[in-house]
Every structure is written in C-alpha cells, then in structure tokens.
Amino acid sequence: MLEYYRADEPLKKKIASVFLESFLFYSGFWLPMYFSSRGKLTNTADLIRLIIRDEAVHGYYIGYKYQKGLEKVSAEKREELKNFALDLLMDLYDNELAYTQQLYADSGWTEEVTAFLCYNANKALMNLGYEALFPAEMAAV
C-alpha cells in the first residue's frame, strides 16, 4: 500500500486509501461486534461503532473525490484505473482471506468472517463508484 501513497498518481492514492478506510480497517472489528451481538464486550462495541461511523465518512468522501477526479481523465485512463482497483482489491482480499482462515480456523467462524470481508470489499468498490464484485449471498452479514 505504501508504494501507492508514495507514487505521484493521485487517483491511485485515492483507490488505496478507500480500500484501507473501507475494507482493510474493518476486518479486525468482526470479533468484537460478534461478541456484542451476544451481549458481551458491549462498551468496546460502542467505541468500535463510533470508529466505523468515522471511517465510513472517510471512505465515502475519498471515494467521492476519486469519482470527481475520474471526470477529468480519458475513458482509457478510467478503464486502467478500474482494472487497477479490481486487481488491488483482489490482492488485498486474498491476503485478508488467508489471514482470516489462519486466525479463525479452529473457531468455526471463518465463513461468517469471510462474508464480512466480501461485504466490506463491495462497500469499498461502491465508494469508488464501481459495482459490487461479490454476489449478495457471499456478502450476507
């Protein structure tokens, strides 16, 4: 991710930022939210909900700025950026999926966490103005 932040390509920086704010950052919230839904760690979950609300604004706003930036580039560049976004998302998703499988292997929660990953990946893409990648049944949370 750092290489995209350091590069001189503002639209790619925005893509990376949206994926960080709208996808990667959320992965660690699944377990406390799961416990909260069962009446445990409720104060922690309250704090996490505030963080999620804040991050949702960041992802939406940066995605909006990205979409406005797309209006200023050629159709070819828009297609290149879309392909870049999808490739980067899949790389990040594969990494998160491997980590999820390792972390939750013995818990029986891997499938639920994977759905959460798909849901957040779809939200990140929508923040950028793209269609969801994962079908609704894979992203049911």
Please determine, for residue 54, whether its predicted confidence score (pLDDT) is greater than 90: no
Window from 51-55, 66-70, 106-110, 114-118 with minimum mean pLDDT: 51-55
Across residues 103-132, what is the average pLDDT?
96
Q: How far is CA 41 from CA 45, 50, 111, 123, in A?
A: 6, 15, 22, 26
In this prediction, residue 45 has a pLDDT band, given cuts at 50, 70 and 90, of: confident
In this prediction, residue 26 has a pLDDT band, given cuts at 50, 70 and 90, of: confident
Residue 138 is predicted with a pLDDT of 94
The better pLDDT of the pair 55, 63 is held by: 63
pTM above the 0.75 mark? yes
Rounded mean pLDDT of the chain? Answer: 93
Across residues 94-113, what is the average pLDDT?
95
The better pLDDT of the pair 71, 34 is held by: 71
In this prediction, residue 27 has a pLDDT band, given cuts at 50, 70 and 90, of: confident
With helix as H, strand as E and coil as C, how does 81-111 read?
A: HHHHHHHHHHHHHHHHHHHHHHHHCCCCCHH
CATH fold of the domain at 10-138: Ribonucleotide Reductase, subunit A (1.10.620)
What is the number of other CB atoms lying within 10 angstroms of the CB of residue 63? Answer: 24
- In terms of residues, how long is the chain? 141
Please determine, for residue 106, whether its predicted confidence score (pLDDT) is greater than 90: yes
